[in-house]
Structure 1
Amino acid sequence: MENHIIRTNVLGIPVSLVNLVQATKQISAWALDGHKAYSVFVRDVPSLMLALRQSELCDLHHTADLVVADGMPLVWVAQMKGHGDEIGRVPGADLVEEVCKFSLSSGQSHFFYGGKPGIAQRMADNLTRRYPGLRVAGISAPPMLDIGPDFDLLKACREDIEDIRASNPDVIWVGISSPKQEYWIAKAVATIDRGVFIGVGAAFDFHSGAVKRAPAWMRNNGLEWLHRLMSDPRRLWRRYLILAPMFVVKVLGEFLLAGKQRAG
């Protein structure tokens, strides 16, 4: 299936103009393709800012098949650029729910790769209880690895790759945090013949029950970041108190520059 998804540009990072329903349908369609592997990145503000600092990571976004906006600020920027309701927030945890739900009728199978020991298993167990009949092709909790542009996937994860190939899943959920999961996915897509590889990071913690997700009213008003910061300030303070304000400054600067150029 050809990729005709239109993208916008957020500080140099391409972001696909899709909402949760459209992303689910596209991923499910790709998962039926037995002749190609696809990569899906789920972007929020901190991970987008990290991509701006790493040219190799930035480049991966231009080759990814789908880059969805997890954070509401990315949606707001796209809307300020005139895209209106062409784009909606696609949280990783919600994407897991919708794709799993959709796959009950299509029969597509899922592989859960990531998380601390036991997390992927608990995630799979919870999802199969919520969606009876969900096909789980495999589960793996990889060790902590230093994953970057020069990462040797086959040397470090040969058994994992062989397990994924052997189980032949349609959707591979990857939860090893950004930017590690994006580098891992890019290597895996180039190595494995088929399947949709989706980096969903914290969704593993949410669906396993290890971390409580923000209430709906916070998620719907762009405040999920605040809930996460309050839940784990020691680990996340830099992400939300430094990278997020930098994003605002850069976006304002970009719009001011564009305004001056139009006026000139």
Structure 2
Amino acid sequence: MLPKLPVLDSWISTGAPADFVAAILKLGAMRTSAYVCFANVHMVVEAQRDAGFRRILRQAALVAPDGSPVAAAVGWLNADTPPQPRVAGMDLLPELLSAAAASGQSVYFYGTTEAVLAAMVARAGRELPALRVVGTCSPPFRPLTPAEDAAEVAAINAADPDLLFVALGCPRQERWMAAHQDRVRACMLGVGQAFPVYAGLEPRLPLWARRLWLEWAYRLWLEPRRLWKRYLLTNSRFVYLLARRSLAHLVGRPAPRATA
């Protein structure tokens, strides 16, 4: 797997986007139960606050630097480290689908709504006719009963995908993947908001705006009532924690670290 470096108390995998695609395809080909996280600021701060969630990230096969601040912090906090590019789930999803079609690996989409899933399958059918989409599932927006959960796991395993893309929102999707490791026989990838973007139901900011780290502002503008706390408070917390850790490095004194 790819090497990992610390960002605050999270361990972030490093490498170019192509390295992540190759590593994920390898996990799919191995037919082992593993999961991949795409870490943005919200996820790193959640891991800092919650020891249980921090363990979930540490047990992931890969933790991609999904957010630009997280990717930049890999270099800021680790001396002599080359610049780490952002590896966003929204960007990697279409690349992985294309690579899966070329390599013969099958995929399954789990999460969001029936409308989003139908649009995703339609796009994949138009652009990647060789891609094997072996199943989709839109679970209810509530905790599943043990019987419901067992039925969904059985359906996924019966479809036998190589790659299982999961979109339940952070941190729910990461908790779901960790809870289903060794139960679901696939490489699970928590890609969240990548589903409606790939489906064409939600626009993506142009590249120049993403390079200026403005994607969080755009998402906040789209859903202010749901996301204001996550972005305004969580982003501020991340800046504070990063400044504290950076200052500790400058004065040669280790900052307090949470235990796993």
- TM-score by length of structure 2 reads 0.92
Q: Which portions of structure 1, spanning 4 or more consecutive aligned residues, are displaced by more than 2 angstroms?
A: none
Query: Do the aligned residues in 2 keep the contact of 1:127 with 1:207 (CA within 8 Å)?
Result: no
- Asked if residue 256 in structure 1 is aligned to residue 247 in structure 2, the reply is yes
Does residue 21 (structure 1) correspond to residue 21 (structure 2)? The answer is no
Which sits farther off after the overlay, 156-165 or 175-184? 156-165
Matched, 1:49 2:49: no
The answer to whether the Cα contact below 8 Å between 1:72 and 1:222 also exists between their aligned partners in 2 is yes
Question: How far 1:226 sits from its partner (Å)?
Answer: 1.5
What residue is the counterpart of 2:177 in the other structure?
Answer: 185
The yes-or-no answer on 1:60 pairing with 2:52 is no
Q: What TM-score, normalized by structure 1, do the two folds share?
A: 0.90
**C-alpha displacement of 1:134:** 1.3
Report what 1:164 is aligned to.
156
Matched residue SS, 2:245: helix
Q: CA RMSD in A?
A: 1.7
Percent of paired sites with the same residue: 29
Q: Which of 52, 57, 71 is 1:75 aligned to? A: 71
Please tell me whether the aligned partners of residues 106 and 162 of structure 2 are also in contact (alpha carbons under 8 angstroms).
yes
- State the AA in 1 paired with 2:40: D
Q: CA deviation at 1:156?
A: 4.1
Gaps of 5+ in 2: 255-260
The Cα of 1:146 is off from its aligned counterpart by 3.9
Q: Which residue of 1 aligns with 2:121?
A: 124
Q: Is the 8 A contact 1:38 1:65 kept in 2?
A: yes
1:103 equivalent in structure 2: 100
Structure 2 residue identity aligned to 1:212:
P
One-letter amino acid of the counterpart of residue 121, structure 1: A
Number of residues of Structure 1 aligned to a counterpart in Structure 2: 252
Q: Amino acid of the residue matched to residue 118 of structure 1?
A: A
SS at match of 1:84: coil
Q: CA deviation at 1:198?
A: 0.2
What is the deviation of 1:11?
Answer: 1.1
**Which residue of 185, 192, 200 maps to 1:201?**
192
Secondary structure of the 1:142 match is: coil
Q: Is the 8 A contact 2:94 2:198 kept in 1?
A: no
Question: Match of 2:257?
Answer: none
Shift of 1:262: 6.0
